[in-house]
Structure 1
Protein backbone atom coordinates (compact mmCIF):
# COMPACT_ATOMS: atom_id res chain seq x y z
CA UNK A 1 0.00 0.00 0.00
CA UNK A 2 2.77 2.41 0.98
CA UNK A 3 4.73 1.64 -2.18
CA UNK A 4 1.63 2.32 -4.29
CA UNK A 5 1.09 5.66 -2.50
CA UNK A 6 4.73 6.59 -3.01
CA UNK A 7 4.52 5.76 -6.71
CA UNK A 8 1.33 7.86 -7.00
CA UNK A 9 2.98 10.78 -5.26
CA UNK A 10 5.99 10.58 -7.57
CA UNK A 11 3.73 10.37 -10.62
CA UNK A 12 1.68 13.35 -9.43
CA UNK A 13 4.85 15.31 -8.75
CA UNK A 14 6.06 14.59 -12.27
CA UNK A 15 2.77 15.79 -13.76
CA UNK A 16 2.85 19.00 -11.70
CA UNK A 17 6.48 19.63 -12.65
CA UNK A 18 5.72 19.05 -16.32
CA UNK A 19 2.72 21.39 -16.18
CA UNK A 20 4.83 24.06 -14.48
CA UNK A 21 7.48 23.71 -17.18
CA UNK A 22 4.90 24.10 -19.94
CA UNK A 23 3.41 27.14 -18.20
CA UNK A 24 6.85 28.69 -17.81
CA UNK A 25 7.65 28.18 -21.49
CA UNK A 26 4.30 29.23 -22.90
CA UNK A 27 3.30 31.86 -20.35
CA UNK A 28 0.12 33.93 -20.49
CA UNK A 29 -0.51 35.92 -23.64
CA UNK A 30 -0.17 39.15 -21.63
CA UNK A 31 3.27 38.31 -20.22
CA UNK A 32 6.07 40.69 -21.13
CA UNK A 33 9.27 38.66 -21.58
CA UNK A 34 12.66 40.18 -20.97
CA UNK A 35 14.88 40.65 -24.04
CA UNK A 36 16.39 37.30 -24.94
CA UNK A 37 13.84 35.36 -22.91
CA UNK A 38 12.84 32.60 -23.26
CA UNK A 39 16.07 31.32 -24.66
CA UNK A 40 16.13 30.68 -28.38
CA UNK A 41 17.90 31.56 -31.58
CA UNK A 42 15.46 34.44 -32.15
CA UNK A 43 13.70 36.15 -29.24
CA UNK A 44 11.65 39.32 -29.08
CA UNK A 45 10.04 41.60 -26.52
CA UNK A 46 8.38 44.98 -26.03
CA UNK A 47 8.01 47.47 -23.19
CA UNK A 48 6.13 50.64 -22.38
CA UNK A 49 8.25 53.81 -22.44
CA UNK A 50 5.46 56.19 -21.40
CA UNK A 51 4.60 59.23 -23.49
CA UNK A 52 2.53 56.95 -25.75
CA UNK A 53 5.66 55.13 -26.95
CA UNK A 54 6.65 51.46 -27.04
CA UNK A 55 10.07 49.90 -27.51
CA UNK A 56 10.38 46.64 -29.46
CA UNK A 57 13.48 44.41 -29.48
CA UNK A 58 14.59 41.38 -31.48
CA UNK A 59 17.59 39.41 -30.21
CA UNK A 60 18.94 37.34 -33.07
CA UNK A 61 21.55 34.56 -32.92
CA UNK A 62 21.04 33.60 -36.58
CA UNK A 63 22.36 35.07 -39.82
CA UNK A 64 18.82 35.87 -41.02
CA UNK A 65 17.61 39.48 -41.23
CA UNK A 66 13.98 38.91 -42.24
CA UNK A 67 12.41 38.11 -38.87
CA UNK A 68 9.87 40.94 -38.57
CA UNK A 69 7.60 42.21 -35.80
CA UNK A 70 3.92 42.75 -36.57
CA UNK A 71 1.86 44.80 -34.10
CA UNK A 72 -1.62 46.17 -33.55
CA UNK A 73 -3.32 48.71 -31.28
CA UNK A 74 -6.51 48.05 -29.30
CA UNK A 75 -7.21 44.84 -31.28
CA UNK A 76 -7.79 46.78 -34.49
CA UNK A 77 -8.57 44.95 -37.73
CA UNK A 78 -5.75 43.67 -39.92
CA UNK A 79 -5.21 43.71 -43.67
CA UNK A 80 -5.54 40.98 -46.25
CA UNK A 81 -2.44 40.70 -48.44
CA UNK A 82 -2.20 38.45 -51.48
CA UNK A 83 -0.14 35.34 -50.85
CA UNK A 84 -0.39 35.57 -47.04
CA UNK A 85 -2.94 33.32 -45.37
CA UNK A 86 -3.39 35.34 -42.17
CA UNK A 87 -4.28 39.00 -41.38
CA UNK A 88 -1.36 41.43 -41.33
CA UNK A 89 -1.32 44.54 -39.15
CA UNK A 90 1.24 47.34 -38.63
CA UNK A 91 4.16 45.25 -39.86
CA UNK A 92 7.06 46.75 -41.77
CA UNK A 93 10.28 48.41 -40.71
CA UNK A 94 10.99 46.37 -37.56
CA UNK A 95 13.13 43.43 -38.68
CA UNK A 96 16.04 41.53 -37.20
CA UNK A 97 19.68 42.48 -37.65
CA UNK A 98 22.64 40.11 -38.03
CA UNK A 99 26.36 40.27 -38.58
CA UNK A 100 27.63 39.67 -42.13
CA UNK A 101 27.59 37.46 -44.03
CA UNK A 102 23.81 37.34 -43.77
CA UNK A 103 21.30 34.93 -45.25
CA UNK A 104 19.95 35.01 -47.93
CA UNK A 105 21.73 38.11 -49.28
CA UNK A 106 25.37 37.17 -48.99
CA UNK A 107 25.46 33.39 -48.67
CA UNK A 108 24.14 30.58 -50.91
CA UNK A 109 20.59 29.31 -50.55
CA UNK A 110 19.93 27.01 -47.60
CA UNK A 111 19.45 23.35 -48.58
CA UNK A 112 19.37 20.05 -46.75
CA UNK A 113 22.83 19.21 -48.07
CA UNK A 114 24.27 22.70 -47.59
CA UNK A 115 22.84 24.43 -44.54
CA UNK A 116 23.93 28.03 -44.78
CA UNK A 117 21.42 29.26 -42.21
CA UNK A 118 23.05 29.22 -38.79
CA UNK A 119 21.67 29.83 -35.31
CA UNK A 120 24.76 29.80 -33.12
CA UNK A 121 26.17 33.29 -33.59
CA UNK A 122 26.72 35.91 -30.93
CA UNK A 123 23.41 37.74 -30.43
CA UNK A 124 22.68 40.95 -32.33
CA UNK A 125 19.89 43.15 -30.95
CA UNK A 126 17.62 45.30 -33.11
CA UNK A 127 15.66 47.91 -31.13
CA UNK A 128 12.83 50.07 -32.45
CA UNK A 129 10.70 52.76 -30.82
CA UNK A 130 7.16 53.40 -32.01
CA UNK A 131 5.24 56.56 -31.13
CA UNK A 132 1.64 55.38 -31.26
CA UNK A 133 0.46 58.81 -32.39
CA UNK A 134 3.15 59.06 -35.08
CA UNK A 135 4.13 55.47 -35.95
CA UNK A 136 6.61 54.42 -38.59
CA UNK A 137 6.22 51.59 -41.08
CA UNK A 138 4.21 50.90 -44.19
CA UNK A 139 0.77 50.83 -42.53
CA UNK A 140 -0.14 53.75 -40.24
CA UNK A 141 -3.89 53.93 -39.59
CA UNK A 142 -5.28 56.34 -37.02
CA UNK A 143 -5.50 55.11 -33.44
CA UNK A 144 -8.73 53.20 -32.87
CA UNK A 145 -9.35 55.13 -29.60
CA UNK A 146 -7.45 58.39 -30.10
CA UNK A 147 -8.55 60.02 -26.81
CA UNK A 148 -7.62 57.10 -24.55
CA UNK A 149 -4.87 57.60 -21.98
CA UNK A 150 -3.57 54.04 -22.49
CA UNK A 151 -3.60 51.59 -25.37
CA UNK A 152 -3.27 47.84 -25.62
CA UNK A 153 -0.45 46.86 -27.98
CA UNK A 154 -0.18 43.27 -29.23
CA UNK A 155 2.95 42.14 -31.07
CA UNK A 156 4.39 39.00 -32.66
CA UNK A 157 6.97 37.75 -35.17
CA UNK A 158 5.45 37.03 -38.59
CA UNK A 159 8.22 36.70 -41.18
CA UNK A 160 11.47 34.83 -41.63
CA UNK A 161 12.32 31.15 -42.13
CA UNK A 162 11.61 28.82 -39.21
CA UNK A 163 15.27 28.24 -38.50
CA UNK A 164 18.28 26.22 -39.55
CA UNK A 165 16.79 22.88 -38.57
CA UNK A 166 13.15 23.78 -39.09
CA UNK A 167 11.83 22.84 -35.66
CA UNK A 168 12.87 22.99 -32.04
CA UNK A 169 12.60 19.86 -29.83
CA UNK A 170 8.95 20.73 -29.00
CA UNK A 171 8.19 20.85 -32.75
CA UNK A 172 7.38 24.57 -32.77
CA UNK A 173 9.05 27.06 -35.12
CA UNK A 174 11.80 28.66 -33.07
CA UNK A 175 11.20 32.19 -34.26
CA UNK A 176 7.49 32.94 -34.23
CA UNK A 177 5.80 30.99 -31.44
CA UNK A 178 3.02 29.98 -33.80
CA UNK A 179 2.29 33.71 -34.35
CA UNK A 180 0.77 34.05 -30.89
CA UNK A 181 0.32 37.62 -29.67
CA UNK A 182 2.17 39.05 -26.70
CA UNK A 183 0.67 42.13 -25.03
CA UNK A 184 1.77 45.30 -23.25
CA UNK A 185 -0.10 48.43 -22.16
CA UNK A 186 1.29 51.71 -23.47
CA UNK A 187 0.73 54.71 -21.19
CA UNK A 188 0.87 58.49 -21.42
CA UNK A 189 -1.37 58.88 -24.45
CA UNK A 190 -3.88 61.39 -23.07
CA UNK A 191 -3.87 64.73 -24.84
CA UNK A 192 -2.14 67.53 -22.93
CA UNK A 193 -4.27 70.53 -21.87
CA UNK A 194 -4.12 73.50 -24.21
CA UNK A 195 -2.06 76.11 -22.30
CA UNK A 196 -4.23 78.88 -23.74
CA UNK A 197 -7.65 77.49 -22.82
CA UNK A 198 -6.91 74.76 -20.30
CA UNK A 199 -9.04 72.38 -22.32
CA UNK A 200 -7.87 69.01 -23.56
CA UNK A 201 -7.37 68.73 -27.30
CA UNK A 202 -7.95 65.70 -29.53
CA UNK A 203 -5.73 62.69 -29.09
CA UNK A 204 -4.59 61.91 -32.62
CA UNK A 205 -5.67 63.18 -35.99
CA UNK A 206 -7.04 60.66 -38.42
CA UNK A 207 -4.72 61.83 -41.17
CA UNK A 208 -5.60 62.63 -44.75
CA UNK A 209 -7.18 60.19 -47.16
CA UNK A 210 -3.90 60.20 -49.07
CA UNK A 211 -1.99 59.20 -45.95
CA UNK A 212 -4.39 56.36 -45.24
CA UNK A 213 -4.30 55.06 -48.81
CA UNK A 214 -0.53 55.38 -48.86
CA UNK A 215 -0.37 53.27 -45.69
CA UNK A 216 -2.59 50.62 -47.19
CA UNK A 217 -1.01 50.34 -50.59
CA UNK A 218 2.41 51.94 -50.19
Structure 2
Protein backbone atom coordinates (compact mmCIF):
# COMPACT_ATOMS: atom_id res chain seq x y z
CA UNK A 1 0.00 0.00 0.00
CA UNK A 2 2.95 2.34 0.66
CA UNK A 3 4.67 1.51 -2.61
CA UNK A 4 1.93 2.92 -4.83
CA UNK A 5 -1.69 3.72 -4.09
CA UNK A 6 -1.54 5.53 -0.73
CA UNK A 7 1.31 7.87 -1.78
CA UNK A 8 -0.37 8.43 -5.17
CA UNK A 9 -3.68 9.31 -3.56
CA UNK A 10 -1.87 11.65 -1.17
CA UNK A 11 -0.02 13.16 -4.15
CA UNK A 12 -3.35 13.95 -5.82
CA UNK A 13 -4.36 16.13 -2.88
CA UNK A 14 -0.94 17.81 -2.86
CA UNK A 15 -1.20 18.63 -6.56
CA UNK A 16 -4.70 20.01 -6.01
CA UNK A 17 -3.40 22.31 -3.27
CA UNK A 18 -5.75 20.93 -0.61
CA UNK A 19 -5.56 22.76 2.72
CA UNK A 20 -7.35 22.14 6.03
CA UNK A 21 -10.94 23.32 5.77
CA UNK A 22 -11.10 23.00 1.98
CA UNK A 23 -13.73 21.04 0.10
CA UNK A 24 -12.59 18.58 -2.56
CA UNK A 25 -14.20 16.47 -5.27
CA UNK A 26 -12.39 13.26 -6.16
CA UNK A 27 -13.28 11.67 -9.48
CA UNK A 28 -12.81 7.92 -9.33
CA UNK A 29 -13.37 5.53 -6.41
CA UNK A 30 -10.79 2.98 -7.43
CA UNK A 31 -7.93 2.28 -5.02
CA UNK A 32 -6.11 5.54 -5.77
CA UNK A 33 -9.27 7.64 -5.56
CA UNK A 34 -10.18 6.02 -2.26
CA UNK A 35 -6.70 6.79 -0.94
CA UNK A 36 -7.06 10.39 -2.11
CA UNK A 37 -10.28 10.57 -0.10
CA UNK A 38 -8.51 9.02 2.91
CA UNK A 39 -5.71 11.57 2.53
CA UNK A 40 -8.16 14.46 2.29
CA UNK A 41 -9.92 13.41 5.48
CA UNK A 42 -6.60 13.06 7.31
CA UNK A 43 -5.54 16.50 6.09
CA UNK A 44 -8.67 18.10 7.53
CA UNK A 45 -10.80 18.72 4.45
CA UNK A 46 -14.19 20.10 5.41
CA UNK A 47 -16.02 18.19 2.67
CA UNK A 48 -14.82 15.21 0.61
CA UNK A 49 -16.98 14.21 -2.36
CA UNK A 50 -16.16 11.04 -4.31
CA UNK A 51 -17.59 10.60 -7.82
CA UNK A 52 -18.12 7.12 -9.28
CA UNK A 53 -20.88 4.75 -10.40
CA UNK A 54 -19.86 1.56 -8.58
CA UNK A 55 -21.90 1.22 -5.35
CA UNK A 56 -19.37 -1.06 -3.61
CA UNK A 57 -16.56 1.42 -4.13
CA UNK A 58 -18.71 4.37 -3.12
CA UNK A 59 -19.67 2.50 0.05
CA UNK A 60 -15.96 2.26 0.92
CA UNK A 61 -15.57 5.98 0.26
CA UNK A 62 -18.33 6.69 2.75
CA UNK A 63 -16.68 4.44 5.33
CA UNK A 64 -13.56 6.57 4.90
CA UNK A 65 -15.59 9.70 5.71
CA UNK A 66 -16.47 10.93 2.23
CA UNK A 67 -19.80 11.73 0.61
CA UNK A 68 -20.66 9.52 -2.36
CA UNK A 69 -21.74 11.07 -5.67
CA UNK A 70 -23.17 8.28 -7.82
CA UNK A 71 -23.21 10.05 -11.19
CA UNK A 72 -21.08 11.09 -14.15
CA UNK A 73 -20.85 14.09 -16.47
CA UNK A 74 -23.26 16.98 -16.03
CA UNK A 75 -25.26 15.07 -13.42
CA UNK A 76 -22.18 14.67 -11.22
CA UNK A 77 -21.29 18.34 -11.64
CA UNK A 78 -24.80 19.41 -10.67
CA UNK A 79 -24.77 17.22 -7.55
CA UNK A 80 -21.45 18.73 -6.51
CA UNK A 81 -22.76 22.25 -7.05
CA UNK A 82 -25.87 21.39 -5.04
CA UNK A 83 -23.72 20.04 -2.19
CA UNK A 84 -21.57 23.19 -2.14
CA UNK A 85 -24.34 25.81 -2.34
CA UNK A 86 -23.52 26.46 -5.98
CA UNK A 87 -19.88 27.42 -5.38
CA UNK A 88 -18.15 24.23 -6.47
CA UNK A 89 -15.41 22.61 -4.43
CA UNK A 90 -12.22 24.42 -3.50
CA UNK A 91 -10.19 21.84 -5.38
CA UNK A 92 -10.52 18.56 -7.25
CA UNK A 93 -8.60 15.36 -7.98
CA UNK A 94 -8.61 13.28 -11.16
CA UNK A 95 -8.01 9.64 -10.22
CA UNK A 96 -9.38 7.84 -13.29
CA UNK A 97 -7.25 8.66 -16.33
CA UNK A 98 -7.73 8.41 -20.08
CA UNK A 99 -10.07 5.41 -19.87
CA UNK A 100 -12.82 7.35 -18.09
CA UNK A 101 -16.33 7.03 -19.48
CA UNK A 102 -19.10 9.47 -20.29
CA UNK A 103 -22.74 9.25 -19.22
CA UNK A 104 -23.40 6.70 -21.96
CA UNK A 105 -20.72 4.36 -20.63
CA UNK A 106 -18.41 4.98 -23.60
CA UNK A 107 -14.73 5.78 -23.15
CA UNK A 108 -14.16 9.55 -23.30
CA UNK A 109 -10.74 10.75 -22.18
CA UNK A 110 -11.99 14.33 -21.62
CA UNK A 111 -14.98 13.45 -19.44
CA UNK A 112 -13.47 13.79 -15.97
CA UNK A 113 -11.21 16.72 -16.83
CA UNK A 114 -14.07 18.82 -18.18
CA UNK A 115 -16.27 17.85 -15.24
CA UNK A 116 -13.53 18.93 -12.84
CA UNK A 117 -13.30 22.34 -14.50
CA UNK A 118 -17.07 22.70 -14.13
CA UNK A 119 -17.30 21.48 -10.52
CA UNK A 120 -14.26 23.31 -9.10
CA UNK A 121 -14.70 26.91 -8.01
CA UNK A 122 -12.98 29.84 -9.67
CA UNK A 123 -9.21 29.97 -8.87
CA UNK A 124 -9.39 26.41 -7.49
CA UNK A 125 -6.73 23.77 -8.02
CA UNK A 126 -7.00 20.47 -9.87
CA UNK A 127 -4.59 17.59 -9.26
CA UNK A 128 -4.30 14.88 -11.91
CA UNK A 129 -2.79 11.50 -11.04
CA UNK A 130 -4.93 9.36 -13.36
CA UNK A 131 -2.82 8.08 -16.26
CA UNK A 132 -3.08 9.97 -19.56
CA UNK A 133 -1.03 8.50 -22.41
CA UNK A 134 0.68 10.16 -25.42
CA UNK A 135 -0.87 7.62 -27.80
CA UNK A 136 -3.91 5.34 -27.52
CA UNK A 137 -4.18 3.52 -30.89
CA UNK A 138 -7.31 1.62 -29.87
CA UNK A 139 -9.31 4.71 -28.95
CA UNK A 140 -12.53 5.57 -30.75
CA UNK A 141 -11.61 9.12 -31.83
CA UNK A 142 -8.61 10.46 -33.74
CA UNK A 143 -7.89 12.94 -30.96
CA UNK A 144 -7.79 10.23 -28.31
CA UNK A 145 -5.64 8.01 -30.52
CA UNK A 146 -3.07 10.80 -30.51
CA UNK A 147 -3.34 11.25 -26.75
CA UNK A 148 -5.28 14.49 -27.09
CA UNK A 149 -8.73 15.59 -25.91
CA UNK A 150 -11.41 18.26 -26.48
CA UNK A 151 -10.61 20.12 -23.26
CA UNK A 152 -12.79 23.04 -22.13
CA UNK A 153 -9.89 25.47 -21.96
CA UNK A 154 -12.15 28.51 -22.23
CA UNK A 155 -13.95 27.75 -18.97
CA UNK A 156 -10.66 26.73 -17.35
CA UNK A 157 -9.06 30.04 -18.32
CA UNK A 158 -12.13 32.11 -17.43
CA UNK A 159 -12.25 30.58 -13.95
CA UNK A 160 -8.52 31.15 -13.38
CA UNK A 161 -7.95 27.59 -12.23
CA UNK A 162 -4.69 25.69 -11.92
CA UNK A 163 -3.86 22.12 -12.96
CA UNK A 164 -0.88 20.17 -11.70
CA UNK A 165 -0.13 16.63 -12.73
CA UNK A 166 2.46 13.87 -12.82
CA UNK A 167 3.42 10.53 -11.39
CA UNK A 168 3.88 10.40 -7.62
CA UNK A 169 7.40 10.30 -6.24
CA UNK A 170 6.58 7.65 -3.66
CA UNK A 171 9.72 8.25 -1.59
CA UNK A 172 8.60 11.84 -1.01
CA UNK A 173 5.68 10.58 1.06
CA UNK A 174 6.02 6.97 2.21
CA UNK A 175 7.98 7.53 5.44
CA UNK A 176 5.49 10.08 6.73
CA UNK A 177 2.57 7.92 5.63
CA UNK A 178 4.10 4.90 7.33
CA UNK A 179 4.21 6.86 10.58
CA UNK A 180 0.55 7.80 10.18
CA UNK A 181 -0.27 4.10 9.84
CA UNK A 182 1.89 3.10 12.81
CA UNK A 183 0.24 5.74 15.00
CA UNK A 184 -3.26 4.67 13.98
CA UNK A 185 -4.00 7.90 12.07
CA UNK A 186 -4.26 6.15 8.68
CA UNK A 187 -5.59 2.76 7.63
CA UNK A 188 -5.17 2.08 3.90
CA UNK A 189 -5.88 -1.60 4.55
CA UNK A 190 -9.55 -0.67 4.97
CA UNK A 191 -10.09 -0.97 1.22
CA UNK A 192 -8.57 -4.46 0.82
CA UNK A 193 -11.23 -6.87 -0.41
CA UNK A 194 -9.19 -10.03 -1.10
CA UNK A 195 -5.92 -11.58 0.07
CA UNK A 196 -4.98 -14.34 -2.38
CA UNK A 197 -2.16 -16.65 -3.36
CA UNK A 198 0.08 -15.58 -6.23
CA UNK A 199 -1.29 -18.39 -8.41
CA UNK A 200 -4.72 -16.76 -8.18
CA UNK A 201 -3.48 -13.49 -9.64
CA UNK A 202 -4.73 -13.98 -13.25
CA UNK A 203 -8.30 -14.63 -12.12
CA UNK A 204 -8.11 -11.74 -9.65
CA UNK A 205 -6.96 -9.34 -12.35
CA UNK A 206 -9.86 -10.50 -14.49
CA UNK A 207 -12.39 -9.69 -11.77
CA UNK A 208 -10.79 -6.30 -11.10
CA UNK A 209 -10.60 -5.39 -14.80
CA UNK A 210 -14.32 -6.17 -15.22
CA UNK A 211 -15.11 -4.03 -12.16
CA UNK A 212 -16.78 -7.05 -10.56
CA UNK A 213 -18.69 -6.09 -7.43
CA UNK A 214 -16.67 -6.44 -4.27
CA UNK A 215 -13.25 -6.50 -5.96
CA UNK A 216 -11.77 -3.23 -4.72
CA UNK A 217 -8.16 -4.05 -3.79
CA UNK A 218 -6.39 -7.39 -4.02
CA UNK A 219 -3.31 -8.34 -2.02
CA UNK A 220 -1.21 -11.24 -3.35
CA UNK A 221 0.79 -13.42 -0.96
CA UNK A 222 3.64 -15.27 -2.76
TM interval, short-chain normalised: under 0.3
Return the TM-score normalized by structure 2.
0.23
Of structures 1 and 2, the larger Rg is shown by: 1
Return the TM-score normalized by structure 1.
0.24
Structure ranking higher on relative contact order (CA contacts 8 Å, 6+ apart): 1
